[in-house]
Amino acid sequence: MKFSFFHLMPWTELEDAPTQYPVSNRDFDPVRAKELYDTYHGQMAYAEECGFDWVACNEHHFSPYGLNANCNLVGSAMAYRTKTAKIAMLGNLIPLLNPVRVAEEYAMIDCMSGGRLIAGFVRGIPHEYIAYNHDPNQSRDRLREAIQIIVKAWTETEPFGWEGEHYQFSSISIWPKPWQKPHPQMLMSASNEESAAFAGQYPTIIGMTLIADLKIAARTIDTFRESSRAHGHEITPDSVLTGHHTCIAETDEEAREHMREALKYFHKVLMRPQQDAQAIVVQGTRFFQDERLGQGFTKRLETLKARTLEDQIEAGSILCGSPETVVKQIKRINGELGNGRVNMTMKVGTMPDAVVRRGMELFRDRVLPELRNH
C-alpha cells in the first residue's frame, strides 16, 4: 500500500463560529499566518522523512477552513523541500481557473521536482463557485473542456488554437512542458457515482478525500471500474485513493481524546460557513445532474457532523488509535474497498502540532512496516 500526507492548512485561532460565507477576515493576523505556514510546510516536508509516498494539499477560498488559496504555490515549495515524495496537487479547481495557466504551472512543478507531480483535476465543492462568481451549472462541461486543453497543451509540439464552448485561445504553446511523458499522472475526485463515471473516461487515479460510508465508497469504486473498462482503461488498486481524518497516538484513549477535541473545532467552526454556503448553492442549481446526488451531498455533511467518533471510525471516515489499532482499521477498509492508496489528514481542526508530529513518527515506526507490503 502507498500513503499520502494531506494538509488542509486550517486557521486555528477563531473563538466563535463564523455566521456567514464569505467569512469576515477582520480577525486575520498575518504574523500568526506566517507561523502557521512555516509549521504546515514543515509538516509536509517531514512527511517524506516519515515514509509517506505523497505530500498533498488542495485549494479553498474565502474561509478559515483552509489557508491555501493556490495549492501550486505550496507544490513549488515542496519541490525543493523534498527529494523523493510525489507532489500531489489534489488539486486545482479546474472549472474556476484558466486551463492554460494550470497547464503551465503544473508543468513548472513537474520540471522543478524532476517528474514528481500528481496533477489533480478537481471540480470543487459548490460554495467555491460563489467565491469566483462562476455558474456551478457549467462545472462539469467546463472541467471536461479544460482537461482537453491541458492535456493537449502538455503533449502538442506545435502552437495550436482553441475555439470551444467555454474557452477560446488564438494560439497556445506552453513553456515549459512537463517532465513526465506523455504527461503527469492525473487524479480526479470521486465523492459520488456521477463523478466516478466521469473520471472513468480518463486514465486517472480517483480520490475520495473523506470517506463518508464504506458501502457508498464501494459502489463509487465499482462505478469507476465499470466506466474505466468501458473506455479502455483497466484500473488497479493504485488507481484508488481513499481519504481519512487521522490521529495516531500511543494508546487508543489518547488518540480518541485528541480527535474528539479537534473535531469540535472542525465541525462547529471551520465547517459552519462551508455547510451554509453549500446548501445555498446546491438548492436551485444543477450542480448535480441527479437531484438525489445534490440531496446526498448536503446529507453527507450533516451525517458526518452528527456521528459520534466511534461511528465515524466504523464508517471508515476516521483512522484513530494506537499504531496497532490503525493498522487493523486500514486493513479492514482495504479488505472492503481494495484501495491501494490511503490519504491521511492529520492536522484536523485544532489538533496540536506536537500530536500531529508524533503521529507521523508512529506511522513511520509502527504502522508503515505492517502495511507496506500489504
Stretches where the chain sits below pLDDT 50 are: 287-289, 291, 294
**Mean pLDDT, the chain, integer:** 92
- Whether the upstream peptide bond of residue 182 has omega within 30° of 0, thus cis, is yes
Q: Grid coordinates standing for 62?
A: 474565502
CA separation, residue 20 to residues 23, 25, 29, 267, 327 (Å): 6, 11, 19, 15, 40
Q: Do 4 and 343 form a contact (C-beta atoms < 8 A)?
A: yes
Interacting residues of 220 by C-beta distance below 8 A, sequence separation 6+: 190, 191, 192, 193, 195, 196, 206, 208
CA distance 230 to 85: 32
Q: Return the C-alpha cell found at 54.
A: 505523497
* pLDDT value of position 289: 47
Q: Compute CA 44 distance to the chain's CA centroid, rounded to the nearest angstrom.
A: 14
pLDDT in tens, 288-318: 445 455 455 555 555 565 789 999 999 999 9
Alpha-carbon span 279 to 276, nearest angstrom: 5
| Predicted local confidence at residue 302, as pLDDT | 58
Tell me the whole-structure pTM to 2 decimals: 0.92
Which grid cell sits at 30? 498575518
Give the whole-angstrom CA distance, residue 221 versus residue 223.
5
**DSSP, residue by residue, 108-171:** HHHHHTTS-EEEEEE---TTHHHHHT--GGGHHHHHHHHHHHHHHHHH-SS-EEEE-SS-EEEE
Per-residue burial over 285-298, b = 16 or more CB atoms within 10 Å of its CB, e = otherwise = eebbeeeebbebbb
Query: Terminus-to-terminus CA distance in the chain, angstroms?
Result: 6
| Helix (H/G/I), strand (E/B), else coil: 4 | strand
8 Å CB contact between 5 and 55: yes
Which tens digit of pLDDT belongs to each residue from 145-194? 999 999 999 999 999 999 999 999 999 999 999 999 999 999 999 988 99
Which CATH architecture best describes the domain 2-371?
Answer: Alpha-Beta Barrel (3.20)
Instruction: Give the DSSP H or E segment for 276.
Output: helix 271-282
pLDDT at 300: 53
Q: Give the model's pLDDT for residue 281.
A: 65
Model pLDDT, residue 286: 53
Contact between residue 367 and residue 263 where contact means Cβ atoms under 8 Å apart: no
